[in-house]
Structure 1
Amino acid sequence: MAAIVCYGPLIDLSKAAGHIDEYVQLLVFVHNITPIQYKLWRRKGGAEVIRTDIQVADDTRPFFPVTIWNKQLASTLVAGDIVLLQSEHINQHC
């Protein structure tokens, strides 16, 4: 059985700006979901990439953007879910 490795502390969304370029865990409420499809063209054909943008919240911040690149994970999310996002990398746009 494979072990699951999670990086970073569990933080509130209001503390995200203090963790830029770090990995954290977030327990959040999903507001809405927007899948965005890309087609990347290469010489031997195109590759499809699905990016899903979601708006999440917790009791410290009403809206926070998160991008998910995992198609299987994104397809299971619905507005109203409460999810634990593990090993999330915080960038400067938070």
Structure 2
Amino acid sequence: MIYMTNEETEAVDEIITNDEVDEITRAERLERAKVAAKPLIDHLEDAVGNDQFGNPVLNAKVGDKIIIERVASVLNHKPWLDTKTYVITSIDSRA
């Protein structure tokens, strides 16, 4: 258990107001709810593989559905943003 003096308690109260704590807990609750709604796609085959030289190759054909999972890669924890589904209508084979 941590014990603080009245002066220390007042200092903490000045730094973190109730509004800030409410905003932090609200943001945490929203993030937990969003992660709980994230679809499970780990069982799906990857749409992109590598050729014998290690270059990326599309493993899909016209008419296939492709699922894109977007994350905020510029943030520390790379939070999930959303998951989108698209149908491949054409493939440009030019490299």
TM range (shorter): under 0.3
TM-score for the superposition, normalised by structure 1 = 0.25
Determine which structure has more spread, i.e. the larger CA radius of gyration: 2
Name the structure where helix makes up a greater proportion of residues. 2
TM-score, structure 2 normalization: 0.25
